Amino acid sequence: MKGILSILLVLVSMPVFSQSYIFFGNQEMQTLTRTDISGDNKIVLSYGEYKIRRVKVDDIHQKVYWTLADYGVLKRANFDGSGEEIVLQAGPELDLVEIDEAAGKIYFTENGAGNIKICNLNGTNVHTIISGTGLVLGLDIDKVHNYLYWSEADSHLIRRSDLDGDNVVTVFTANLNLFDMQLDTDHNMIYFNNRTNNKIQRIDNLGNNLSDIITANGVIGPISVDFTNEEIYWAETQNGTIRKANLDGSGITTIVNEPYGMISGFDISMLPSANPEYISGHTPLIYYSGNRIIIKNNISPADVEVYSLTGKLLIDKNVSGQTGNIALSSLPSGIYFVKLISGDSIICTKKIMKN
């Protein structure tokens, strides 16, 4: 039917983003570990992981990915450690990895060769999209505006391109040793690790308004931004710690303390809880027509909440009657979560894709 948007409707037996995890690699102990976001309930998911370099999560498919230095191997497993497998063997220059869950793509770097490459989530169809880079130590995807960003430590700059590698522009340059970087697309900011001064700093997405956020006690490794709670996490690699603070740098707290070894890579994940309360006896229908969510529901009234992939609440609206509709024209293309609520109970959660 003309005007119908592409639909990806998956019934989920859980509310959106009510539990968080930290995944991290310990190079010396050769382990991949998971903890709660508080640092509690530590579970080792994999042993014998020699020189874990980077860790990334895929929230949609609930997978954790990690690269192994020297081997050039990209591995993944389920969030509980099961189903461990090798996704890609790219050679010893494989370093960074970034997951575009919605598009089903993996971006990765070959630092010795100066390449940024892309492949499918199963490791097939590998091809180069950027060549001739410097030493890339930060990589992130702007899934709102469809840009790829990376930082080059030896060239002292941050660059951006389209997701296919076209239209490369320099966003920021300074005589700094730029390590990891993370985007905050909710506020159009870029956070980066400046190892010259051992700081986490930020700029806007045009490369302006440089400001200091964190001055660390140890050598800063990877960083990660929690958009939902507006917090930033970072690893002080040689101290074996992961810390967090508010996005303005206040409220610094130590989350993980590994007394033995070096934290070489980490990422945070937002995972739904496993035991929601459901209202029995109904089957709500959520679909799209004319760029609107159409809800058919036999419990009235009900609340409809629309969340971004990062867990940000975008729309919160009450609907009454057996049919309700909500316009999505103000939202860009992408994947969203729609949650239908009656009182204190979750009726259902749906994942939808707007083209």
- From CA 143, how far away is CA 100, in angstroms rounded? 8
- From CA 8, how far away is CA 336, in angstroms rounded? 10
Same domain, 343 and 226: no
- From CA 335, how far away is CA 311, in angstroms rounded? 11
Please provide the size of the chain in residues.
355
Same domain, 84 and 160: yes
At 49, which CATH number? 2.120.10.30
**What is the predicted pLDDT for the residue at 111?**
86
Say if residue 83 is exposed, middle or buried (CB neighbours under 10 Å; 0-12, 13-18, 19+).
Answer: exposed
Same domain, 68 and 202: yes
Same domain, 215 and 345: no
Same domain, 187 and 41: yes
For residue 5, tell me if it sits in a domain.
no
The domain boundary, picked from 271, 299, 323, lies at 271
Please say if the pLDDT value at position 311 is more than 90: no
Confidence of residue 66 (pLDDT cuts 50, 70, 90): very high
Q: Across all residues in the chain, what is the average pLDDT?
A: 83
Same domain, 99 and 199: yes
Same domain, 145 and 75: yes
For residue 310, tell me if it sits in a domain.
yes
Question: Which residue range is the domain that position 345 belongs to?
Answer: 285-354
For residue 251, tell me if it sits in a domain.
yes
Confidence of residue 156 (pLDDT cuts 50, 70, 90): very high
At 315, which CATH number? 2.60.40.3080
Same domain, 291 and 190: no
Same domain, 69 and 172: yes
**What is the predicted pLDDT for the residue at 284?**
56
For residue 6, tell me if it sits in a domain.
no
The domain boundary, picked from 240, 271, 302, lies at 271
Please say if the pLDDT value at position 211 is more than 50: yes
Higher pLDDT pick, 46 / 218: 46
Range 3-16 average pLDDT: 36
Same domain, 187 and 113: yes
Confidence of residue 41 (pLDDT cuts 50, 70, 90): very high
For residue 3, tell me if it sits in a domain.
no
**What is the predicted pLDDT for the residue at 206?**
93
Share above pLDDT 90 across residues of the chain, in percent, rounded to a whole number = 51
Please say if the pLDDT value at position 83 is more than 90: yes
Please say if the pLDDT value at position 233 is more than 90: yes
Q: What is the pLDDT of residues 332-348, one digit of tens each?
A: 877 788 887 777 666 66
Distance (Å) of CA 154 to CA 7, 137, 184, 195, 291: 44, 10, 24, 12, 46
**What is the predicted pLDDT for the residue at 321?**
65
Residue 154 tokens read as 């030896």
Range 66-87 average pLDDT: 93
Q: Which of 8-12, 126-130, 300-304 has the lowest mean pLDDT?
A: 8-12
For residue 135, tell me if it sits in a domain.
yes
- From CA 59, how far away is CA 269, in angstroms rounded? 6
Same domain, 176 and 323: no
Number of domains in the chain: 2
Higher pLDDT pick, 34 / 184: 34
Confidence of residue 318 (pLDDT cuts 50, 70, 90): confident
Higher pLDDT pick, 329 / 284: 329
Closest CA to 16 of 327, 335, 308: 308
Please say if the pLDDT value at position 9 is more than 70: no
Range 198-214 average pLDDT: 96
Q: What is the pLDDT of residues 260-299, one digit of tens each?
A: 888 989 999 865 433 333 344 445 566 655 567 777 665 5
For residue 10, tell me if it sits in a domain.
no
Higher pLDDT pick, 186 / 164: 164
Same domain, 246 and 315: no
For residue 79, tell me if it sits in a domain.
yes
